[in-house]
Amino acid sequence: MKRFLTTVWVLALSAAVGYLVYDKYNTEADARQAEERSEVEEIRARESRREDLRREHALDMSGTAFCDAAEMAVESVVYVKVTKKARQQMPTSVLDMLFGFIATPKDQVGIGSGVIISEDGYIVTNTHVVEGGDKFSVTLYDNTVYEATLMGADPATDLALLKIPAEGLVVLPMADSDELRLGEWVLAIGSPYDLRSTITAGIVSAKGRSFPNYDGQYRVESFIQTDAAVNPGNSGGALVNTDGELVGINTSIVSLTGSYTGYSFAVPANIVKKVTDDFITYGQVQRAVLGISMAETESGVRVMEVKEGSPAAEADVRPGDIVREVNFQKINSGSELQVQINKYRPGERIVLSINREGDIKEIVVKL
């Protein structure tokens, strides 16, 4: 009996110890599992947040990298090839005449870009792209090639208009370039160095910029300056905002090497629209004239001289007047004044807001 009771006690003690050990193990296991679950949830939450951040970043980048805008606009930007026929050389000596020692001249080929502005085949490009050309061809985004006709070229704005025999083309809509803001993201689309449909991005660095290489000829200069990379071949291509709208035609760069160094310039869309509409409607640019010479001041544009018999003279604009606004658009520079006047045609009326010795006057001028 004693031995039996001892065995029972030992078994009970063993069971109790086993239970305690088992319970402790389970408690520790549960704690470990809880800790692991907590860690898993923490990692899941962290990765979920990272994914959310990636999504947010992707959404942000769709605005800054212009995924949608680029895809919409790229089909409206074309590749322009300009051929200048070689001129036959005249013999320069008797030997040349006798033996025909005259090298056969070769045609010169230049390239540039253009932007489709109508479904029926009107394409805007730069004057310097088509200048001197005898034959023009346009290659669309889908590689369809058309022979083009030059409808007009305007050296004052460096804009030219081509026409191809096509219908149903993808048109790039024009924005109001006056609404363009400093620091706004834009992208440049063109064919630099024959790399077709190349897209680069940057911001609007300045507005109303006069090109530094101004050569003294009359020009309408109020360029949009950007830091979007532009190189030879980009000329005539599109400068596009985040809504996929045309805000300018890329025209030139400032560089000591001939390649992009951070400064590119585009003709504002409002000038583009005016010039191309004139070519289509009238066959030439209808350019309005105000009839003043001017100088820039801190508070606007000072009238230095009024041409006799000019619209300004007939409206009683006087030397010394400071032009503050044109049709209620604020003027800060001579180039901005040029742009505003260039938006109108001869015969149209505008309102000049001027400061005359401290008095603010609004004068109606018939251009």
- Catalytic residues, by residue number, are 128, 158, 235
Whether 153 and 284 have beta carbons less than 8 Å apart is answered as no
Q: Angle CA(65)–CA(71)–CA(76) in degrees, nearest 5?
A: 125
**DSSP-assigned beta bridge partners for residue 258:** none
Whether 177 and 204 have beta carbons less than 8 Å apart is answered as no
Show the beta-strand stretches assigned E in 118-175.
122-125, 135-139, 145-154, 159-163
Residue 289 dihedral angles phi and psi, to the nearest 5°: -125, 135
Task: Give the 3-state secondary structure of residue 273.
Answer: helix
Task: Please tell me what DSSP assigns to residue 165.
Answer: S
CB atoms inside a 10 Å sphere around CB 203? 15
CA atoms within 13 A on the CB side of 200: 20
Q: Give the H/E segment covering residue 204.
A: strand 198-209
Task: Give the 3-state secondary structure of residue 295.
Answer: strand
Q: Give the H/E segment covering residue 318.
A: none
- Tell me whether strands 145-154 and 135-139 are parallel, antiparallel or unpaired: antiparallel
Task: Give the 3-state secondary structure of residue 239.
Answer: strand
Whether 176 and 222 have beta carbons less than 8 Å apart is answered as no
- Token pair, residue 113, equals 């870009």
Quote the CA–CA distance of 248 and 334 in Å, as a whole number: 19
Query: CA nearest 273: which of 246, 239, 251, 253?
Result: 246
**DSSP-assigned beta bridge partners for residue 81:** 111, 137
Whether 263 and 278 have beta carbons less than 8 Å apart is answered as no
